[in-house]
A and B are shown apart, each in its own frame.
Chain A
Amino acid sequence: MVSSRDDFVIAIRSAFLKKSYQQKFSLLTLIFLSLIIIILGSLNFKPIQYVKIGINEVIYRSSFIVSIPENYIKKLDLQLKDHLNLYDNYKRNETTLNELKKEKLNNDFLVLENNRLRELINESVQSQDIYAKVLVDKDSPYLKSIVVNKGSKNNVKLGMAIVDDIYLVGKIIEVNYTNSRALLLSDLNSKIPVLLEPAGIHAVLSGTGKNYGVIEFTKEEYNQELSNKELVVYTSGYGGLFKSGLPVGKINNSKENNKNEINFFSDFRQLDYVKIVSYEMESEN
């Protein structure tokens, strides 16, 4: 019994302390170093933050270069699918185009009317747009985020909205000097205030870690209303981070056991260029 315990202790000691096979560091030293980094990182220790920003600057660029072959394969796969569905897509687009032409006439009128009403109450929306290239878009099982090539050098600030064309895709959560990281709406940690139209219901859109979001925190009586209608999700503008009326997605009514799932308008796997936007409401009243 004693000898087997001794064997165990010797094996453990040898595994952790012995610098075998020409290793420069013992395992125990490096494990302690990692633990120190984790603890200091959780305490927001400044030198660790600076080291992290330094590593970010180098690694994001390197990761972009290393990912070129994988991104090429990814694009090839998408192009192939597009070619295979060419005729179906054409027919669908033709129908949609005709419907949109009709709707556009109505919308043009509404936009003009909206602008006139804003002028009447002396209110205007000031926005600052920064165009950025997506460097890293790892669809990691842990975190759904992208890295863009604009940072504090280009006046990017925490919380700014990330927009793909006109659709909201996420917000900035980390800013470095020449690049920044944005959390996508599909991430589990993403929660944004939204408005469900045409019902006019305020709710919170949460990410699921998958390619769709879910509607949360609505009153119970609204839940039934949600399942019966074709609803489009827009940002509500609550909290002041995002402008109200940015399109986000559509409630998916096609599935059975529908749990208020939202299909995002933008395909987060195909983000090449995005717009980093900050909004400011200016009112003279």
Chain B
Amino acid sequence: MSSLNKNTFFKSLMFYFPTLILFLSVLNEIDFNYLAIEYFSFNFAYVLIFYWTLKNPYYLSYGSIFIAGLINDVVIGIPIGISSFCYLLICAVTAYLRNITLTPNFINDWLSLLVTILLINSIQVMSLDLIFSIEVNYMKYFINSGFTFILYPLFLFIFNSIENRIKFQKND
């Protein structure tokens, strides 16, 4: 393990881990839809962006989030720019939360995530339906928002341990 810590490639890989995972998730659409469970889907990118821009935006730049949004639009086939806008709105909410919060609180963060995803999914549905006349399934959006919210603590635990690892690498 100590040899791994000394490896500069491994260190930079850990540093760019959130960005790497974000790009992989938008290219691959990590949502376990292939399990074909009818009422199960979640938005991994939302959780990832929310966590890293809230806790430590140093690891995930706004520029890369913007580009990841453009890629996501292309992969899922919705008009270009919508996902970027939604992702950046999450960043705006997290930046605001960071500015007003003195002592971070898990419940506050969790509820803020719920409000944020309901807001951005509403914006996405409205723009797709009203501006681009693309019919969308409201129930699926609702379920997607619900599972994204429910699964946040699980991803929080995983990302926390990764963040500790990155910090450990940095201080090494």
Contact of A201 with B by CB under 8 A: no
Closest to B82 in A: A38
Task: Bin chain A's interface residue count.
Answer: 35 or more
| Stretch of A15-23, A117-125, A154-162 at the chain-chain interface | A15-23
Describe B's contact surface by its main secondary structure.
helix
8 Å CB contacts to A: which residues of B8-66? 24, 27-31, 33-36, 38, 41, 56-58, 61-63, 65-66
Do B92 and A15 have beta carbons less than 8 Å apart? yes
Residues of B within 8 A of A73 (CB): 34
Please indicate which of the listed interface residues A7, A34, A56, A77 has the most CB atoms of chain B within 10 Å of its own CB: A34
Q: Tell yes or no: B95 within 8 A of A by CB.
A: yes
Q: Is the CB of B58 within 8 A of A21?
A: yes
Write the chain B residue with the least CB distance to A11. Answer: B99
Per DSSP, chain A at the interface is: helix
Contact status A70-B135, CB under 8 Å: no
Query: Once bound together, how far apart are the Cα atoms of A137 and B92, in whole Å?
Result: 32
- A143 and B77 contact, CB distance less than 8 A: yes
Whether a CB of chain A sits under 8 angstroms from the CB of B119 is no
Which parts of A1-29 form the interface with B (CB within 8 Å)?
Answer: 7, 10-12, 14-16, 20-27
**A74 neighbours in B (Cβ, 8 Å):** 34
Chain A minimum-CB-distance residue to B85: A34
Comparing A59-67, A108-116, A276-284, the segment that makes contact with chain B is A59-67
Q: Is the CB of B63 within 8 A of A30?
A: yes
Could you tell me the distance between the alpha carbons of A66 and B28 in the complex, rounded to whole angstroms? 6
A15–B90 Cα distance when bound, in Å, is 11
Contacts A14-B95, A269-B36 given; indicate if A209 touches B82 (C-beta within 8 A): no
**In angstroms, how far is the closest chain B Cβ from the Cβ of A184?**
11
Of A21, A145, A188, the contact of B137 (CB 8 Å cutoff): A188
Task: Please give the number of chain B residues whose Cβ is less than 8 angstroms from any Cβ of chain A in the complex.
Answer: 55
| Inter-chain contact B88/A30, CB cutoff 8 Å | yes
Judged by a CB distance under 8 angstroms, whether A229 is at the interface is no
Within the assembled complex, what's the spacing in Å between the Cα atoms of A260 and B6? 64
Q: Is the CB of B81 within 8 A of A141?
A: no
Interface string of A128-165 (1 = CB under 8 A from B): 00000000101111110100000000000000000000
Q: Is the CB of B61 within 8 A of A24?
A: yes
User: Inside 8 A of B96's CB, which chain A residues have their CB?
Assistant: 11-12, 15
In the complex, chain A residues 199-230 whose Cβ is within 8 Å of any chain B Cβ = 208-211
Question: Which of B68-76, B102-110, B152-160, B163-171 makes up part of the contact surface?
Answer: B68-76
CA distance A35 to B57 in the complex (A): 23
Instruction: Write out the residue numbers on chain B whose beta carbons fall within 8 Å of the beta carbon of A189.
Output: 134-135
Task: Answer whether residue A197 sits at the interface, using C-beta atoms and an 8 A cutoff.
Answer: no
Q: Check B95 against A35 for contact (C-beta < 8 Å).
A: no
B137 lies within 8 A of A141 (CB): yes
Q: Are A63 and B27 in contact (CB under 8 A)?
A: yes
Within the complex, what minimum Cβ distance (angstroms) separates A78 from chain B? 9
Contacts of A56 in B (CB 8 A): 74
A167-200 interface mask toward B, CB cutoff 8 Å, 1 = contact, 0 = none?
0000000100000010000001100000000000
Give complex CA distance A36, B31 in Å.
Answer: 29
Which residue in B62, B66, B76, B91 is a CB contact (below 8 Å) of A140? B76
- A97 interface residue (CB < 8 Å to B): no
Across the interface, which residues of A come within 8 angstroms of B70, CB to CB?
Answer: 37, 55
A136-B80 in contact (CB<8A): no
A139 to B137, CA, bound (A): 14
- CB-defined contacts of B36 to chain A, threshold 8 Å: 139, 211, 269
The chain A residue sitting closest to B93, CB to CB, is A15
21 residue pairs from A and B, CB less than 8 Å apart: A11-B96, A14-B95, A15-B95, A23-B62, A30-B84, A33-B66, A34-B66, A34-B85, A38-B85, A41-B81, A51-B80, A52-B80, A59-B27, A60-B74, A67-B28, A139-B33, A140-B33, A140-B77, A142-B141, A143-B134, A211-B36
Excluding A27-B91, A48-B80, 20 further A-B contacts by CB distance (< 8 Å) are: A15-B96, A16-B95, A25-B66, A33-B66, A34-B84, A35-B81, A42-B132, A52-B74, A55-B70, A55-B71, A55-B80, A59-B71, A63-B27, A66-B27, A74-B34, A77-B34, A140-B29, A141-B141, A208-B137, A269-B34
